Amino acid sequence: MTTPLGRERKHLQRALTATDASLHTRILSDIKRHILSGHWPPGHRIPFEHELATVYECSRMTVNKALSELARAGLIERRRKAGSFVCRPRSQAAVLEISDLKTEVEDLGRVYRFTRLALRRHTATEADRRRLGLSKAVPILAVTCLHLGSETPYCFEDRVINLAAVPAADDEAFLWIAPGPWLIAHVPWTEAEHRITATTPDLASAQHLAIMPSTPCLVVDRLTWRERQPVTHVRFTYPGSARELIARFEPSSG
């Protein structure tokens, strides 16, 4: 009696639904549809796992997989003994895709080029330490670049690299490869924090971008860690007219 009894049932279901994917996917999207359509408002208790298992004629594990994913996605909240409930939507979260500059520029249909401006190695000043969130005076590589789209200044990059975290950067001139791509190739899988503000450019930025010092600019500060160790801080300054950050939000997964 260890023969798979569920097999006939499974095939029956496949025949009935036919349309698409796996069962747990179907359960997931069914529930998701109920939530997104408003049919199940926030606070609504969705059926228990064993109920859904009965409805879909499957094992509880299959239902559990669907519900667990919905919980991770933040669509439902699960409470022991109480059940699973539709969440109130998170205020507004959005996934911001910050691709590399080359892709960005080429997506605008322009020809990408960058020039390295200054490159300087020194011990971290007070300002550098503040940028990197460091307390010690580690060796630092400071580099500035100008990124162009079809020969028009597109973005000014002002970066410090923590050489204690990335010693190999000391041997790189960043003439043929920009610091960003180089770092991704040499220090993959980092964590990052972005700060996005609107300001007037500092003098260096305005000069290199060839804009008036009063031109509003979008400034993206990115601080990157590797295993809680600061790796690099970079400030991208875009003339406000050049850049749009676009972020999409969907209740994910599906």
Could you list the residues that contact DNA (CB under 7 A)?
A: 2, 4-7, 9-10, 21-25, 48-50, 57-62, 64-65, 67-68, 71, 78-84
Figure out which of the listed residues 23, 53, 166, 217 binds a copy of itself, where binding follows CB under 8 A: 217
Least separation, in Å, of the C-beta of 233 and a copy of itself?
Answer: 14
By CB under 8 A, tell whether 197 contacts a copy of itself.
yes
CA distances from 145 to 77, 88, 103, 160, 177 (A): 47, 44, 16, 12, 11
Return d(Cα 210, Cα 190) in angstroms, integer: 33
Return d(Cα 49, Cα 51) in angstroms, integer: 5
Cβ distance to DNA smaller for residue 6 or 213: 6
Figure out which of the listed residues 25, 29, 190, 229 binds a copy of itself, where binding follows CB under 8 A: 190
- Helix (H) or strand (E) segment spanning residue 180: helix 179-186
Q: State how far Cα 17 lies from the chain centre.
A: 35
24 binds, among a copy of itself, DNA, none (CB under 5 to 8 A by kind): DNA
By CB under 8 A, tell whether 254 contacts a copy of itself.
no
Return d(Cα 84, Cα 87) in angstroms, integer: 9
Figure out which of the listed residues 12, 21, 93, 137 binds a copy of itself, where binding follows CB under 8 A: 93
Least separation, in Å, of the C-beta of 138 and a copy of itself?
Answer: 19
By CB under 8 A, tell whether 14 contacts a copy of itself.
no
Q: Between 23-36 and 60-72, two packed helices, what is the crossing angle to 10 degrees?
A: 50
Return d(Cα 56, Cα 78) in angstroms, integer: 20
Cβ atoms of residues 9 and 44 within 8 Å: no
Cβ distance to a copy of itself smaller for residue 121 or 194: 194
Figure out which of the listed residues 55, 111, 210, 247 binds a copy of itself, where binding follows CB under 8 A: 247
Least separation, in Å, of the C-beta of 74 and DNA?
Answer: 13
Cβ atoms of residues 223 and 230 within 8 Å: yes
Cβ atoms of residues 14 and 57 within 8 Å: no
By CB under 8 A, tell whether 88 contacts a copy of itself.
yes
Name the residues that contact a copy of itself, by CB under 8 A: 35-38, 41-42, 61, 72, 75, 88-89, 91-100, 103, 184, 187-200, 214, 216-219, 222, 226-227, 238, 240-241, 243-251, 253
